[in-house]
Structure 1
Amino acid sequence: MTQRVLLIVSGGIAAYKALELVRLLRKRGIAVRAVLTESAQQFVTPLSLGVLTEDHVYGDMFDLKEEREIGHIQLSRQADLIVVAPATANILARMAAGIADDLATTILLATDKPVLAVPAMNIRMWHHRATQRNLEQLRADGIHLLEPDDGPMACGEYGKGRLPEPEAIAAEIQRLLALPKRPDLLAGQPDFAPAPNGGRALAERHVLVTAGPTHEPIDPVRYIANRSSGKQGFAIAAAAANAGARVTLVAGPVHLPTPPGVDRIDVETAREMLAAVEAALPADVAVMVAAVADWRTADAAGQKLKKDGSGEPAPLALVENPDILAILGRHAQRPALVIGFAAETEKIAEHAQAKLTRKGADWIVANDVSGDVMGGDANAVRIVTADGIEGWESMSKDAVAAKLIEKVADALSPPLH
């Protein structure tokens, strides 16, 4: 059966990406019907979207032909998923407030189907308290959110607010379309009913996440570290918060904004990270994403080490850092689910399986970092458990995070009867 997406395009320079998104969805066999807001028509024409969707493009709430033949109620019902991309600060605010003053927002208020919003806006608008407040309300209402990317913007600024690339949006749409409907929840409902707790599958759960590198000082200006941007760990913390969990994020030295609804603890060294992790217990789930340095200097120099002209490097005595994942896997307050990450360059599955047993973890999320995964925005992972290996296709780190948190929620949920 053909899956159907209703794509609402709101006004913003990123609206042009909607054309490529439609092409990608059609290529995947997904039918697309489009709605253009009045401001979106300043950037994308109904003709161009109509050619790509091979369908009428809707926009006028009071078009009698539309109301007689389709109507906003029918439009909201005849899709498996409604996607707002790009979602401007304006339409997000109207969605959060329940305003229905045009065709797009009337559809959104009338729908009983899942909704994905993909925000895009200026960095200052994204970080504004009003926008973050609206996003929290939308999450509480069960709206799925794919966070914007970091990068240069049309206004000349750089930061968080860029619409994710169409490939990443298409992957998230496919993921949401693939989610099973739960018959026990849908009995007696027309098409869709939200999950318990407003769709917040980890409500009343405590999720502990580590992210980023650790820096182990050699002297006041040098340190030992593993490469890590922290993006995957921060995305997982955001996804857990979006699912309703109380989230503690222990972060190494990274320059990333704290996800909304997340309690953040900043640390520098492995020993500081271990102390913060133990202080955060008890937790229901621990997701250890941080790239913790394996070694540190036995005695960090108090002053900058200088070359002595001999051509010989300064001697460094190294000692092993505490193994945070292994300690947590055997801790007296061990979380019910302990998940480790394995960044490998060869024999990915083999090394991850060995790590699973050695560390006392329940799952290992293994990825090949021989390419540009470190610092990039996409990831291809394998989930290694005692039952086997589950391979995931390459997708955005936000999509990996959302899919992993869904798997976590399923693992913690009691079986359906």
Structure 2
Amino acid sequence: MTLPVSPADVAAAREVLAGAVLRTPTLPAPRLSAITGAHVFVKYENLQVTASFKERGALVKLASLSPEERASGVVAMSAGNHAQAVAYHAARLGIRATIVMPKHTPLVKVIATEAHGARVVLHGESVGDASEEADRIAHEEGLVWVHPYDDARVIAGQGSVAAEMLEDIPGLDALLVPVGGGGLISGMAVAARAMRPDIEIVGVETTLYPSMWNALHQQNRPCEGATLAEGIAVKQAGALTREIVSALVSDVVLVDEPTFERAVNLFLTQQKTLAEGAGAAGLAELLAQPDRYRGRNVGLVVSGGNIDPRIVASIMMRELEREERIVSFRFSMMDRPGELGIISTLLGQLGANILEVEHKRHFLDVHAKGARLDVTVETRDRAHADEVHRVLLAEGMNVARVDWRTAG
């Protein structure tokens, strides 16, 4: 079978990339290994100048342009990382770049793209809308279209990721790769199969955007919704990438949003590295199906680190709640002087740090002479939270845990 991209294409792309993009490290992750039961190795593509693997494919494509095409300029469509990559390397090569992004692209990505000198056009609600606008601009202004994934040169450039990983860690048994349009996993599959024909290659999509999964399984699950992994929130997989994935990829799996959140949090707290939602897809799959990979050498790609700091803060707080290191207690009590002091003193003696207090009197479900007190505290772990609750009850207090899954 002749595929759109060959191992020779990946080798040629690597020559273009040599010295122009960072050869990022692939390093063991013993803490993640202990959590998942696999032998985990992580490739840190978030260390690139634009914090994403997208620089590889973008540069290979831009370097292939003729002098006339360079003079005309380029246009690209992206939710962020491809945009920054094209903008950065176009500026390096003296090529005028226009980038079309969906209106609701995270501001951090818009600002970063503009900082590289590109003209940014915000258009539409989705990547599909932005793609149509980019296509219109390309025809109207005579610009060269630099597709984010469905381009043979872009795919070849992304293949350098797997080539470097297997050179650094030849004994990898599996590669877990984020999938949006399919450019990264297609290139990696071409390179990896040439070097290790028996390696397992697993693509990871969010359950909200199963575009490649749909294509492979001839299904029509909806691709919609707000996802943490906006970098792979693609409604239609590429034509070239579908062909390569179908031929070379072992499996494409779907992972839910809470598991993506946990993966982002673990990269930050355990590996001290910033991964955007899409960049944490491989770890999310490892967390979702640990038995599948237990005891095996598994390679993960942190494909990008461009995430809104506010989202990171929210994820960390949500994970603390899931781990019950932040818990809320609801007290029903008499509304009289000193009650709040008694409760706060006891919580302090138990080692629970008070984060927030909400005192409510004017509700029909509260006794006319009573009050409802919601207290959010920080605890050491789930066992400590349970201990605090037991002692409060033993002290005769009318108190209940507020379950974050059902609280209104």
Instruction: Output the TM-score relative to the length of structure 1.
Output: 0.24
More RCO (CA 8 Å, sep 6+): 2
The structure in which a higher percent of residues are strand is: 1
Instruction: Output the TM-score relative to the length of structure 2.
Output: 0.24
The structure in which a higher percent of residues are helix is: 2
